[in-house]
Amino acid sequence: MKQSLIGLSLAELQQFALAHGLPRFVGKQLCEWLYVKGVAEFSQMTNLSKVARASLDETCQVGQMPHLDAQHSVDGTIKYLFPTHDGHYVETVYIPDGDRATLCVSCQVGCRMGCKFCMTGRQGLVGNLTAGDILNQILALPERDRLTNIVFMGQGEPMDNLDAVLRATEVLTADWGWKWSPKRITVSSVGVLPQLQRFVEESRCSLAISLHHPMPAERREIMPAERAFSIEEVVALLRQYPVFCKNNPEPPESRQRRLSFEYIVFGGLNDTKAHADALLQLLRELDCRINLIRFHDIPDSPFHGASEQQMTWLRDYLTQHGLFTTIRASRGQDIYAACGLLSTKKQEQEAQQQD
């Protein structure tokens, strides 16, 4: 298989050019064509000589691959199915909202965290995406030029594939790449240590912790990762960084990253006053927000979403007690926007064809 160039840094592309008998400045030109202009073929790189384009076409590939399937919601949300370099599939969800357009990208095929309420978790971990696979979900997106925000909240645990995630976010934020502010990118995690510490120290992107339950014993029942990475240890780590703390002397408007906690609300499971008080106690020292999320039903699941009345009560109770809380708008329900459903269907279809 030919080497793909998407995912390489400026320095790596400069070295690549020299190794292929091309001037060093060709690496800079490749950067612009790959990441800024987003072309899919060397023939489109018109400021490269015909000889250089022909040589590159013989020895490597751009690496951009179009989506294989798309499901369109009545609310404008679009779920795309993209191929990976090794023949698997991942899902990407485009969510337009007025002047904003958010893309939810995946970082793994499957996931080994095993959250009981997650369709992707049922797949187990199939493999890690390369930085090129991650970036392809963005660069090959038909709506790429409309994007205002990117969230790593699709399939997989970002801290479980941190090298590729950091490489991808570098392309998105570097002066030679997309030149985006890190504030426009949010990376989520169930709290995998010590990779989480490395992310906090090496990246300036915003962070979202997949919390979903404030009580360790009960959290273990729905999120097995709690056994290895306690939510109390995760919060203790975050308290070590002033940027995430309430006593941070830096004015809010100058802070370069946001800390949030994602909280899927299940009826009768994590939506009582006892759970709300536990949340307040757990997060009392952090300058953060809670995003309440409606549960999207998945096949053969014992879990059910909380009522609108209960979600509203939980939001108001937490906010009144000093923890700013929002209810995330539910999008794409008619196209099964919950992660894992489309790729699982594709895998099942291929397995049936092989049989």
Cα–Cα dist 290/87, whole Å: 37
The secondary structure of 224-240, three-state, reads HHHHCCCHHHHHHHHCC
Question: Cα-flanking dihedrals φ and ψ of residue 245, to 5°?
Answer: -105, 155
The Cα-based distances of 53 to 5, 27, 56 in angstroms read 13, 13, 5
Q: Among residues 31, 205, 288, 339, which one is catalytic? A: 339
Cα–Cα dist 206/218, whole Å: 27
**Residue 82: closest CA among 98, 94, 100, 95:** 94
Cβ atoms of 166 and 187 within 8 Å: the answer is no
Q: Among residues 91, 157, 226, 262, which one is catalytic? A: 91
Question: Is 12 noted as a catalytic residue in this protein?
Answer: no
Question: Is 245 noted as a catalytic residue in this protein?
Answer: no
Please report which helix (H) or strand (E) contains residue 314, including its range.
helix 308-320
Neighbour-count burial of 175, counting CB atoms closer than 10 A to its CB (0-12 exposed, 13-18 middle, 19+ buried): exposed
Supply the residues annotated as catalytic: 91, 339
